């Protein structure tokens, strides 16, 4: 360690990003480039009876038109459920499903041409809510065509019924989480070029360039060896760009058809329809406890509104139950989750995939139990902290800073002194959670590494990290540069990071499941340590000392006792290059085998390490207007080791902000005709600088034995419990329980009214 | 909060109120409207159905061959698509006009309500040299034609607010005798305000009862004289009509009609009709107005052929001369014509702030600014902030404080901050929050951004911070003197 790791510092790459020097996807422009637009279905469920694009093709400036027939191969992120077409082949399944694509000389012409495509529809019955999905199986959105079911998971651990019967108290409740959108400021964009030598290059705003590479090959029926996928920096993703999309296939195909580069930029409205946002869930929870607060059993039943397609739905359905068993839990557990298809924009993973919704239900239930039993809500969480190194559903725990997280938020918020003592209208609430640091298994089964880097060491003293991981704003590039610079004693500026280019970088599976720091960091550490070993050996030989005496410090390699003969790092690199030949190294990470339970589905939710989080929220409730103000949130997060503390703080603050927004403002509503209630930033309100309270990020370091330098995830965990913490704080403030999100003034007023009339 | 709207407990009306959409008849008679092609009219018709309109006017078929063709197509569409609309058509109170409506009804195979109109005020009679006996005869003839064609007959009495009660009484009786199922008041409203409206409707209601025709319904179709269209329509509702007319955007002959969007929203507000989601109302207005509003439609048609206009302005201090289409936005010019891609497009509709630039020092949204409007002005983009080695204090502070994660909104934030600091060198945190409140960020939660702008405001402007560049150590040794020159 040479002083970079664990120190707050500048991010480094921001300056070039904001002045247009580093190009985001839409900043790229290629010679002779065409623009594409996609005509989208106006119906939530309808069959294409006729499609005539003659008039569109005749419009001056239009170069090519594609329809579903041109791209007949299905695709999807999960290998077992590929149910999407690039453009509708037979039936549109939501308002916004792509129907035809136009490539034209400019964007406006392409848009106008879309209006000239004549589509005859046979309108089919829509499914716009969970009740219809369950009660009208004949509509047949499911794979069998006989129901609307996407995935069912039923798992039980222990005798739940007996445990509930033997409980002193059982708290039951229904909870509803309406969907929310990612709403990154950069909308989806993709650009494709098909060279005359038959090489296809696709640039895209994706979090999963490797999976995109695979699906492009499948859909276009083109060898992966003839495809190059490049992911430029992404302007926010949050899970919304973590699977292959129809528009990516469309621009690739259009480039092949026209022989010219083709770009598409989705509009803000399209962004809300393409969606893949957080699933709406309807949850029923029954949780039992003894008088001392010890939980006995958790019984959960969840209906999940999956929207039009499978997306990650198989995983979502498991995650809705599997990720609940930490950090405070009962010894008996049963969950039954059913994901239904509806004819709404497809849902997918959003920051805290599948587990934010049940966390909301469970943490409020825990608060109800504490209040009922007259216990301190932090204390009841301590009482039920899962002990040991394994959960009841078979997850392996290697490091656990949970109790410290609780202690930190308890102290920082002056919980004991202030809870329930702030007067009517003001209150504190607590909640806690845990999350994975990457999934233990790749999405498509294989034995190869999940993450890898290659280092190229230049004799000028510059090290380049060729890295497959996706920089989406979370800072993986900075993280890797920090690890390399710290190990070798280099300036941060001497490490260049080249990311996510399938021709230049080894494979990484993508920026999802909070896997970046853990897996990519480990891969990088492995590679840089090999280089470091060569530098140390060369310097030891030069100074004629045993290698064990050589150490790396800022800018130099030196030997104990011979500090005055320290050798600058760039000189050490040249010595090593002379000694070993051209310098470079590869490093990779593969998760340990055999993690997770041995039952069916037991590996879903298995991760090499888990992060822990506790939140305390302080709210002010205006009982006249129903307006809730989140004054402050304290969030303690166990990230194992903060390699770049500024980045970790940024992830905590960003997560809290996003969670509080979901608690108070955001609701992805689709109306009775399948239309989004307001696909823009005026109607779908995300907070402005005037809507946010203070956030205090508290970093807890439990030093994971398998994490890179001890590190675990920080990107998603700190969102989970922010929402129930706000709900519990509202209860502390005014004594109402809000079991349906978001906590809009209307809902708060209605609950206050209901409470008064009791 | 106290809600004065809720003080009065009495319901506004006991009747269920029908909405009659006159956009495709009265709306098109506006001097600012253009008559769109039938494909567009069909789209407008669907938008009406989406909006929950009850009766849609398909036009005045007697006005000409094209109007008749379009009215036919519209009625056929209602029938074929089973739209939840009842068709109506306008006619003068003459048999041939009514027969044109009959023909449409028979072709489409659906009922079409016939709204036959007639002026009734003394002044109109005088100007047109009509006698009251002649009026009566016309009503009878029209009613007879409608009855023969199996149409619901509705008498539209124009200028009713200026008609004597005795004359109205007589016309009502004739209309009822002629088989009218509905009487529509009053087209031109003139000087009458809510008092007149109310008195007229109440009079009409009691007259119908008096002549033994309580079943005959009353419609209100009132022009926007003195800007009172909506107010009068609501007064009419209160006084007891069964239906109100409106047009998209308030388009209509003379002064225009009741804006249908406002009517829908207000009737929901009064809990008389079910609420319609805002996006649906917006879609209705967009569909109709982009088609019939002549200024908008002409603009659309012009787009491809619009001439280039010269644009001379300064961008980041450099003089720039371009020729642009008048519809080109400043964002398009910056990103596409000048390669200044630091300015980002996040929504293209003025909601996110990622495209913020300064025009003469003031922050503007370049996606909503027509490039041509900046002729002669100074435009400043994020590229004006100096890079290495002497970093602009704002860039330096943003990098230091983690004020950008993905960096996509950051350009707009920086420009907004630059605009703020230019006139408020030492802003408070609250002032900073206000200055960037039009710039959405989805990564940071804003805290670090406010910190960074505050830090930049406190940083000494001179000397500017120096970015620590790699390799700032010893440079390669100087070259030896050139051999040939030393000879």
Q: Which of B447, B455, B456 to mutate to test the interface with A (most CBs of A within 10 A)?
A: B447
Which residues of chain A make contact with B443, given a CB cutoff of 8 A?
236, 473, 650, 654
- Predicted pLDDT of residue A634: 98
**A580 lies in the same domain as A460:** yes
**A456 lies in the same domain as A435:** no
Beta sheet of A694-700, edge-to-edge order: A426-436, A610-621, A628-638, A694-700
Quick check: A493 and B345 CB within 8 A?
Answer: no
Per-residue pLDDT at B199 exceeds 60: yes
Tell me the C-alpha distance between A705 and A713, whole Å. Answer: 14
- Predicted pLDDT of residue B159: 87
Contact status of A488 with chain B (Cβ, < 8 Å): no
Quick check: A20 and B447 CB within 8 A?
Answer: no
List, as one string, the DSSP characters of A385-425.
BPPTTB-TT--B-S---HHHHHHHHHHHTTHHHHTT-S-TT
Position A471 in a domain: yes
In tens, the pLDDT along B258-274 reads: 999 999 999 999 989 99
- The shortest C-alpha distance from B282 to chain A (Å) reads 10
Which residues of chain B make contact with A184, given a CB cutoff of 8 A?
406, 408, 442
Which residues of chain A make contact with B325, given a CB cutoff of 8 A?
none
Structural domain of A534: 449-589
Which residues of chain A make contact with B439, given a CB cutoff of 8 A?
689
- The shortest C-alpha distance from A12 to chain B (Å) reads 7
**A473 lies in the same domain as A421:** no
Angle at A111 between CA A108 and CA A116, to 5 degrees: 125
Q: Radius of gyration (Cα) for chain B, nearest Å? A: 33
Supply the CATH number for residue A397's domain.
Answer: 3.30.365.10
> Closest to B433 (Cβ–Cβ): which among A108, A265, A690?
A690
What residue ranges of chain B are covered by domains with CATH 3.20.20.70? 14-300
Which residues of chain A make contact with B414, given a CB cutoff of 8 A?
18
Quick check: B414 and A18 CB within 8 A?
Answer: yes
Quick check: A14 and B345 CB within 8 A?
Answer: no
**A378 lies in the same domain as A454:** no
Q: Mention the CATH class of domain B14-300.
A: alpha beta
- The shortest C-alpha distance from B230 to chain A (Å) reads 26
Per-residue pLDDT at B486 exceeds 80: no
Of the pLDDT bands very low, low, confident and very high (cuts 50, 70, 90), residue B377 is very high
Quick check: A673 and B404 CB within 8 A?
Answer: no
Output the furthest CA–CA distance in chain B (Å, rounded): 127
What residue ranges of chain B are covered by domains with CATH 1.10.150.120? 385-458
List, as one string, the DSSP characters of A692-714.
--EEEEEEE----SSSGGG----
**A648 lies in the same domain as A675:** yes
- The shortest C-alpha distance from A445 to chain B (Å) reads 31
Supply the CATH number for residue A52's domain.
Answer: 3.90.1170.50
**A395 lies in the same domain as A541:** no
Q: Which two tokens stand for residue A354?
A: 């599948």
**A471 lies in the same domain as A428:** no
Q: Compute the 3-state secondary structure of chain A and give helix, strand, coil in percent, each to the nearest 5.
A: 30, 25, 45
Q: How far is CA A352 from CA A76, A365, A377, A405, A707, in A?
A: 20, 20, 23, 19, 20
> Closest to B471 (Cβ–Cβ): which among A461, A682, A689?
A461
Contact in structure between A444 and A75 (CB atoms under 8 Å): no
Q: How far is CA A127 from CA A44, A149, A273, B11, B436, in A?
A: 8, 12, 16, 36, 41
- A 96-125 residues with CB < 8 A to B: 108-109
Which residues of chain A make contact with B343, given a CB cutoff of 8 A?
20
Using CA coordinates, name the residue in chain B closest to A679. Answer: B279
**A428 lies in the same domain as A494:** no
Contact status of A183 with chain B (Cβ, < 8 Å): yes
- The shortest C-alpha distance from B413 to chain A (Å) reads 10
Using CA coordinates, name the residue in chain B closest to A472. Answer: B406
Quick check: B402 and A646 CB within 8 A?
Answer: yes
- The shortest C-alpha distance from A126 to chain B (Å) reads 16
> Closest to A17 (Cβ–Cβ): which among B335, B345, B407?
B407
**A412 lies in the same domain as A470:** no
Which residues of chain B make contact with A237, given a CB cutoff of 8 A?
406
- The shortest C-alpha distance from A600 to chain B (Å) reads 37
- Predicted pLDDT of residue B185: 93
Per-residue pLDDT at B472 exceeds 60: no
In tens, the pLDDT along A165-190 reads: 999 999 999 999 989 999 999 999 99
Quick check: A268 and B352 CB within 8 A?
Answer: yes
Contact status of A186 with chain B (Cβ, < 8 Å): yes
CA dihedral B371, B376, B378, B382 (to 10 degrees): 30
Cβ partners under 8 Å of residue B372, min gap 6: B309, B311, B324, B326, B328
Q: Which two tokens stand for residue A707?
A: 């994490």
> Can you tell me the mean pLDDT for B207-217?
93
**A559 lies in the same domain as A660:** no
Position A571 in a domain: yes
Which residues of chain B make contact with A677, given a CB cutoff of 8 A?
277-279
> Can you tell me the mean pLDDT for B457-466?
70
Q: Which of A9, A17, A19 to mutate to test the interface with B (most CBs of B within 10 A)?
A: A19
In tens, the pLDDT along B52-98 reads: 999 999 999 988 888 999 999 999 999 999 999 999 999 999 888 99
- Predicted pLDDT of residue A346: 98
Tell me the C-alpha distance between A644 and A625, whole Å. Answer: 42
CATH code that applies to domain B309-383: 3.10.20.30
- The shortest C-alpha distance from B486 to chain A (Å) reads 32
pTM: predicted TM-score of the whole model, two decimal places: 0.79
Position A632 in a domain: yes
Stretches in chain A below the pLDDT threshold 70: none
Quick check: A474 and B385 CB within 8 A?
Answer: no
Using CA coordinates, name the residue in chain B closest to A266. Answer: B347
Tell me the C-alpha distance between A541 and A557, whole Å. Answer: 12
Which residues of chain A make contact with B400, given a CB cutoff of 8 A?
10
Tell me the C-alpha distance between A559 and B141, whole Å. Answer: 116
CATH code that applies to domain B385-458: 1.10.150.120
Q: Which of B6, B46, B443 to mutate to test the interface with A (most CBs of A within 10 A)?
A: B443
Which residues of chain B make contact with A647, given a CB cutoff of 8 A?
402
Position A285 in a domain: no
Using CA coordinates, name the residue in chain B closest to A682. Answer: B351
> Closest to B399 (Cβ–Cβ): which among A11, A494, A625?
A11
Tell me the C-alpha distance between A81 and A92, whole Å. Answer: 18
- The structure tokens 């490049």 sit at A230
Quick check: A675 and B280 CB within 8 A?
Answer: yes
Position A135 in a domain: no
- The shortest C-alpha distance from B400 to chain A (Å) reads 4
Using CA coordinates, name the residue in chain A closest to B475. Answer: A460
Contact status of A677 with chain B (Cβ, < 8 Å): yes
> Closest to B407 (Cβ–Cβ): which among A14, A29, A653?
A14
Domain count, chain A: 3
Quick check: B406 and A234 CB within 8 A?
Answer: yes
Q: Give the count of beta carbons closer than 10 Å to the beta carbon of residue B202.
A: 14
Q: How many CA atoms does the CB half-sphere of A247 hold within 13 Å?
A: 30
- Predicted pLDDT of residue A427: 98
């Amino acid at each position: 360690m040479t002083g970079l790791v664990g120190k707050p510092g500048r991010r480094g790459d921001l300056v070039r990003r904001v002045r247009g020097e580093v190009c985001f996807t839409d900043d790229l422009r290629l010679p002779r480039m065409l623009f594409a637009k996609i005509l989208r279905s106006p119906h939530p469920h309808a069959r294409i009876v006729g499609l005539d694009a003659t008039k569109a093709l005749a419009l001056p400036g239009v170069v090519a038109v594609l329809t579903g027939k041109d791209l007949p191969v299905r695709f999807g992120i999960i290998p077992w459920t590929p149910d999407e077409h690039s453009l509708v082949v037979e039936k549109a399944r939501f308002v916004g499903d792509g129907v035809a694509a136009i490539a034209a000389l400019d964007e406006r012409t392409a848009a106008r041409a879309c209006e000239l495509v004549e589509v005859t529809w046979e309108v089919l019955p829509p499914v716009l809510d969970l009740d219809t999905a369950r009660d009208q199986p004949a509509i047949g959105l499911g794979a069998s065509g006989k129901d609307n079911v996407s995935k069912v998971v039923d798992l039980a651990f222990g005798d739940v019924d007996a445990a509930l019967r033997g409980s002193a108290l059982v708290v039951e409740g229904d909870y509803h989480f309406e969907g929310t959108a990612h709403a990154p400021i950069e909308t989806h964009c993709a650009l494709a070029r098909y060279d005359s030598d038959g090489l296809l290059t696709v640039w895209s705003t994706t979090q999963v360039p490797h999976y995109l590479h695979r699906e492009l090959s499948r859909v276009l029926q083109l060898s992966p060896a003839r495809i190059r996928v490049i992911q430029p920096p992404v302007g926010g993703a949050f899970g919304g760009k973590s699977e292959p999309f129809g528009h990516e296939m469309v621009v690739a195909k259009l480039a092949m058809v026209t022989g010219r580069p083709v770009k598409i930029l989705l509009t803000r409205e399209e962004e809300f329809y393409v969606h893949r946002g957080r699933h709406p869930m309807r949850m029923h929870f029954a949780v039992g406890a003894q008088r001392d607060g010890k939980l006995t059993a958790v019984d959960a039943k969840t209906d999940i509104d999956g929207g039009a397609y499978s997306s990650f739905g198989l995983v979502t359905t498991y995650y809705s139950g599997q990720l609940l068993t930490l950090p405070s839990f009962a010894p008996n557990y049963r969950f039954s989750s059913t994901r239904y298809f509806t004819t709404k924009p497809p849902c997918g993973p959003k920051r805290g995939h599948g587990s934010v919704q049940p966390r909301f239900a469970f943490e409020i239930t825990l608060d109800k139990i504490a209040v009922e039993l007259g216990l301190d809500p932090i204390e009841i969480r301590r009482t039920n902290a899962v002990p040991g190194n394994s959960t009841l559903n078979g997850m392996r725990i290697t490091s656990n800073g949970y109790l410290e997280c609780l202690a930190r938020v308890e102290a920082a918020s002056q919980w004991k002194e202030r809870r329930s003592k702030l007067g009517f209208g003001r209150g504190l609430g607590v909640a806690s959670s845990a999350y994975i640091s990457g999934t233990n298994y790749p999405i498509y089964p294989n034995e190869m590494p999940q993450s890898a880097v290659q280092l190229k060491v230049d004799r000028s003293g510059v090290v380049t990290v060729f890295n497959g991981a996706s920089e989406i704003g979370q800072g993986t590039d900075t993280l890797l540069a920090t690890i390399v610079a710290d190990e070798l004693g280099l300036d941060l500026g001497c490490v260049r990071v080249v990311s996510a280019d399938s021709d230049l970088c080894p494979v990484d599976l993508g920026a999802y499941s909070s896997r970046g720091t853990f897996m990519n960091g480990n891969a990088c550490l492995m590679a840089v340590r090999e280089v470091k070993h060569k530098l140390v050996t060369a310097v030891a030989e030069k100074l004629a000392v045993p290698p064990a005496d050589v150490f790396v410090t800022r800018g130099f390699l030196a030997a104990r006792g011979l500090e005055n003969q320290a050798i600058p790092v760039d000189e050490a690199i040249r010595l090593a290059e002379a000694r070993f030949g051209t310098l470079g190294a590869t490093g990779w990470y593969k998760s340990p085998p055999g993690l997770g339970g041995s039952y069916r589905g037991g590996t879903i939710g298995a991760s090499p390490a888990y992060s822990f989080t506790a939140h305390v929220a302080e709210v002010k409730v205006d009982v006249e207007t129903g307006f809730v103000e989140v004054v402050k949130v304290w969030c303690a997060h166990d990230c194992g080791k903060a390699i770049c503390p500024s980045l970790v703080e940024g992830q905590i603050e960003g997560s809290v902000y996003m969670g509080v927004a979901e608690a108070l403002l955001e609701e992805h509503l689709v109306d009775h005709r399948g239309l989004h209630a307001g696909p823009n930033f005026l109607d779908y309100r995300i907070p402005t600088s005037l809507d946010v309270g203070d956030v205090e990020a508290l970093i807890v370091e439990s030093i994971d034995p398998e994490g890179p330098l001890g590190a675990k995830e920080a990107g998603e965990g700190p969102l989970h419990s922010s929402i129930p913490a706000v709900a519990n704080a509202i209860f502390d403030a005014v004594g109402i329980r809000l079991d349906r999100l978001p906590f809009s003034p209307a809902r708060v007023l209605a609950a206050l009214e209901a409470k008064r009339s009791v | 909060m106290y809600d004065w709207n809720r003080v009065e407990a009495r319901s506004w009306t006991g009747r269920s109120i029908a909405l009659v959409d006159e956009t495709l008849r009265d709306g098109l008679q506006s001097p600012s409207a253009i008559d769109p092609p039938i494909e567009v009219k069909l789209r407008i018709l669907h938008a009406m159905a989406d909006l929950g309109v009850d009766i849609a006017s398909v036009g005045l078929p007697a006005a000409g061959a094209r109007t008749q063709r379009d009215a036919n197509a519209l009625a056929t569409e209602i029938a074929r698509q089973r739209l939840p609309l009842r068709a109506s058509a306008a006619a003068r109170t003459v048999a041939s006009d009514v027969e044109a409506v009959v023909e449409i009804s028979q072709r489409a195979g659906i009922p079409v309500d016939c709204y036959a109109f007639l002026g009734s005020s003394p002044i109109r009679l005088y100007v047109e040299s009509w006698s009251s006996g002649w009026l009566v005869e016309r009503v009878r003839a029209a009613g007879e034609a409608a009855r023969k064609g199996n149409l619901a007959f509705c008498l539209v009495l124009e200028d009713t607010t200026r008609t004597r009660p005795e004359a109205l009484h007589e016309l009502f009786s004739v209309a009822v005798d002629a088989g009218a199922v509905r009487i529509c008041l009053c087209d031109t409203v003139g000087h009458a305000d809510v008092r007149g409206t109310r008195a007229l409707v109440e009079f009409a209601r009691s007259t119908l009862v008096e002549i033994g025709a309580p079943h005959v319904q009353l419609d209100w179709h009132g022009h926007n004289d003195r800007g009172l269209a909506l107010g009068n329509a609501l007064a009419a509702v209160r006084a007891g009509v069964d239906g109100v007319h409106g047009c998209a955007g308030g388009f209509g002959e003379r002064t225009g009609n009741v804006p249908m969007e406002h009517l829908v929203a207000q009737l929901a507000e009064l809990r008389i009709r079910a609420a319609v989601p805002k996006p649906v109302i917006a879609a209705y207005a967009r569909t109709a107005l982009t088609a019939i509003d002549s200024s908008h439609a002409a603009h659309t048609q012009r787009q491809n052929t619009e001439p280039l206009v010269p644009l001379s302005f300064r961008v980041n201090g450099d003089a720039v001369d371009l020729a642009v289409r008048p519809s080109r936005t400043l964002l398009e010019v910056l990103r596409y014509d000048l390669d200044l891609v630091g300015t980002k497009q996040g929504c293209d509709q003025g909601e996110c702030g990622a495209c913020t630039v300064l025009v003469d020092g003031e922050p503007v949204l370049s996606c909503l600014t027509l490039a041509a409007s900046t002729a002669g002005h100074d435009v400043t983009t994020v590229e004006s902030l100096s890079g290495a080695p002497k970093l602009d204090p704002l860039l330096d502070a943003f990098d230091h404080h983690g004020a950008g994660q993905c960096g996509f909104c950051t350009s707009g934030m920086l420009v907004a901050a630059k605009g703020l600091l230019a006139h408020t060198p030492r802003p408070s945190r609250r002032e900073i929050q206000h200055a960037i409140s039009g710039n959405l960020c989805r990564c940071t939660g804003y805290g670090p951004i406010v910190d960074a702008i505050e830090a930049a405001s406190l940083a000494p402007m001179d000397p500017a911070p120096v970015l620590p560049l790699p390799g700032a150590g010893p440079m390669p040794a100087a070259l030896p003197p050139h051999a040939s020159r030393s000879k």
